[in-house]
């Protein structure tokens, strides 16, 4: 069943259909029905969108910080009042349950609110009479048009990690959403228009690799923010930096949670279920490896099974606990990892491969799955599965658990569950991961900190949002000034000295 809805590009505060004539289906994962067709940009379409952002930049850069922030405040008020609309769009195209979609929007709003305070963050420093009759000061200025390439799993929150700060700092923006759930960005574009954002400051470019490659290589784009898998993050980083751009490319993850013998096992089990199966595991901060230390593994597994078996899988708009996976292809790929884990010797303690939902048999369903006795050689451990599959790895000591994590090529997020403050302090110091939770399973920092991993989870030096986001979307300029006076000293070809 295909509807006539067309999901287009957005430039100069209006819909732009483009000229490629190419499109891709957008599907409701809970029903398997095609709900629309998203435009796929040609190179010429991408250039049209980029040119609109470039044309709007000088005027927006020169708009006062006060006026920019007033527009941002207006956007925040509209977004806060109508967040339910955006959450419903996310659920319809991504599949996550409404409560999860509302949480996604709420975390995005935090970054909008952080960006509302940007006048303080853009202040420079001033040194009067740094040298005789010479004053020195520094300022931070916008880069120009910037690109945001967003993943399917957070179609609203991830773009909001970047564009509020970019826009508040005086940049113009081109957002390239995932083709799988592209409507959220268009909805936010219309909200920006209602908030009074001038034409060309916020633009949406729909498309596939053709659109992405133009954003990575077009000289008008000055910086690229990307979130996605590690292989694509590496490609984005290499291609865009080779074209002279500033890049932050956030990649994949294999997040471990260490459960020490002294941990509160009920808290740990609740946390493993929440972090492993929330959003059907389609989170870069999901816990996918539960490392049980010492003699507590059997009790912990039993508690996880008891909780996970009660999860209701179904349509995210109809009161379920966990929704479908994003596509049938992805659902089948995740199921194949369960097959492989079982064949390699892991014990399938809870099996989600045969879950069905009455009245929605064509949805992309895979229930919560728990594998025990997983070892580091198994593909279910080595690969980022991105689905509701939690692996239990049994070790004897803290040192073994730490070695597992530090030997892993990813370094996005991790957690430790313990009542021993000394062990927690040692872990946060020794673990080679960018974001650490202590009795917190999904340690996504608040908006006034910054989000980012280590190792193969981040390419580029700058983390997302927070103070590092302001640094990424601005560049420093130092000004040294002296007003003419009779004692300037005349001709002197020596290198200037301070005195």
Cα angle value 209/179/240 (rounded, 5°): 35
As annotated, the active-site residues are 284
Query: Number of helices and strands (H, E) in the chain?
Result: 16, 23
- Which helix (DSSP H) or strand (DSSP E) does residue 14 occupy? strand 14-16
Specify whether the CB–CB gap between 172 and 114 falls below 8 A: no
Specify whether the CB–CB gap between 27 and 34 falls below 8 A: yes
Location of structure tokens 């009245």: 359
How far, in whole angstroms, is CA 263 from its chain's centroid? 30
- Name 291's Cβ contacts closer than 8 Å, sequence gap at least 6: 256, 257, 258, 259, 393, 395, 401, 404, 405
Which value, to the nearest 10 degrees, does the dihedral of the CA atoms of residues 79, 85, 90, 93 take?
A: -140
Location of structure tokens 């419903």: 88
DSSP codes, 57-82: HHHHHTS-HHHHHHHHHHHHHHHHHT
Angstrom distance (rounded) from CA 86 to CA 82 = 7
Structure-block tokens of residue 390: 């939690």
Specify whether the CB–CB gap between 102 and 83 falls below 8 A: yes
Angstrom distance (rounded) from CA 248 to CA 14 = 29
How far, in whole angstroms, is CA 474 from its chain's centroid? 20
Specify whether the CB–CB gap between 91 and 316 falls below 8 A: yes
Specify whether the CB–CB gap between 309 and 437 falls below 8 A: no
Angstrom distance (rounded) from CA 136 to CA 126 = 6
Structure-block tokens of residue 187: 């909805």
Angstrom distance (rounded) from CA 172 to CA 167 = 6
Specify whether the CB–CB gap between 239 and 216 falls below 8 A: yes
What is the arrangement of strands in the sheet containing 435-438, beginning at the earlier edge strand?
A: 347-350, 369-372, 389-395, 287-293, 255-259, 413-417, 435-438
Location of structure tokens 């732009």: 16
Question: If DSSP codes are grouped into helix, strand and coil, which group holds residue 259?
Answer: strand
CA distance from start to end of the chain: 78
Q: Which of 25, 303, 298, 59 is nearest to 181 (CA)?
A: 25
Bridge partners for 249 per DSSP:
226, 459
């Amino acid at each position: 069943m295909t509807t006539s809805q067309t999901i287009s590009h957005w430039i100069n505060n209006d819909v732009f259909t483009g000229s490629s004539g190419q499109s891709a289906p957008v599907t409701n994962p809970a029903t398997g029905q095609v709900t629309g067709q998203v435009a796929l940009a040609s190179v010429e379409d991408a250039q049209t969108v980029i040119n609109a952002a470039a044309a709007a930049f000088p005027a927006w850069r020169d708009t006062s910080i006060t006026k920019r922030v007033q527009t941002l405040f207006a956007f925040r008020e509209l977004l806060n009042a109508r967040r339910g609309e955006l959450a419903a769009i996310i659920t319809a195209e991504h599949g996550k349950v409404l409560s999860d979609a509302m949480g996604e929007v709420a975390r995005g709003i935090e970054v909008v609110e952080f960006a509302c305070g940007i006048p303080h963050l853009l202040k420079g420093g001033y040194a009067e009479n740094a040298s005789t009759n010479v004053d020195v000061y520094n300022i931070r200025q916008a880069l120009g048009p910037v690109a945001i390439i967003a993943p399917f799993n957070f179609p609203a929150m991830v773009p909001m990690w970047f564009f509020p700060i970019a826009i508040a700092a005086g940049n113009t923006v081109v957002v390239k959403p995932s083709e799988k759930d592209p409507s959220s960005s268009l909805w936010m574009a219309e909200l920006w228009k209602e908030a009074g954002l001038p034409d060309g400051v916020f633009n949406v470019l729909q498309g596939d690799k053709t659109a992405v490659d133009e954003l990575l290589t077009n000289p008008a784009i000055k910086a690229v923010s990307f979130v996605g898998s590690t292989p694509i993050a590496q490609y984005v980083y290499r291609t865009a930096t080779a074209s002279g751009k500033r890049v932050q490319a956030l990649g994949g993850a294999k997040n471990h949670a260490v459960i020490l013998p002294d941990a509160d096992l009920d808290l740990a089990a609740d946390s493993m279920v929440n972090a492993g199966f929330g959003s059907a595991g389609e989170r870069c901060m999901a816990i996918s490896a539960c490392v049980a230390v010492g003699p507590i593994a059997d009790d912990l597994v039993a508690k996880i099974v008891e909780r996970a078996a009660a999860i209701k899988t179904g349509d995210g708009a109809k009161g379920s606990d966990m929704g479908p996976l994003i596509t049938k292809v992805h659902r089948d790929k995740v199921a194949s990892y369960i097959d492989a884990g079982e064949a390699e010797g892991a014990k399938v303690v809870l099996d989600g491969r045969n879950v069905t939902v009455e009245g929605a048999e064509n949805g992309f369903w895979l229930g919560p799955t728990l594998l025990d006795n997983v070892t580091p050689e198994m593909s279910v451990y080595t690969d980022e599965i991105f689905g509701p599959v939690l692996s239990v790895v049994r070790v004897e000591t803290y040192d073994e658990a730490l070695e597992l994590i530090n030997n892993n090529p990813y370094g996005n997020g991790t957690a430790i569950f313990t009542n021993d403050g000394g062990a927690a302090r040692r872990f946060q110091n020794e673990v080679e991961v960018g974001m650490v939770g202590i009795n917190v399973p999904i340690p996504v920092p608040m908006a006034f900190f910054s989000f980012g991993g280590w190792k193969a989870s981040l390419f580029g030096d700058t983390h997302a949002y927070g103070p590092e986001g302001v640094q990424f979307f601005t560049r420093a300029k130092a000004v040294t000034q002296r007003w003419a006076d009779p004692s300037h000293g005349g001709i002197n070809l020596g290198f200037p000295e301070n005195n």
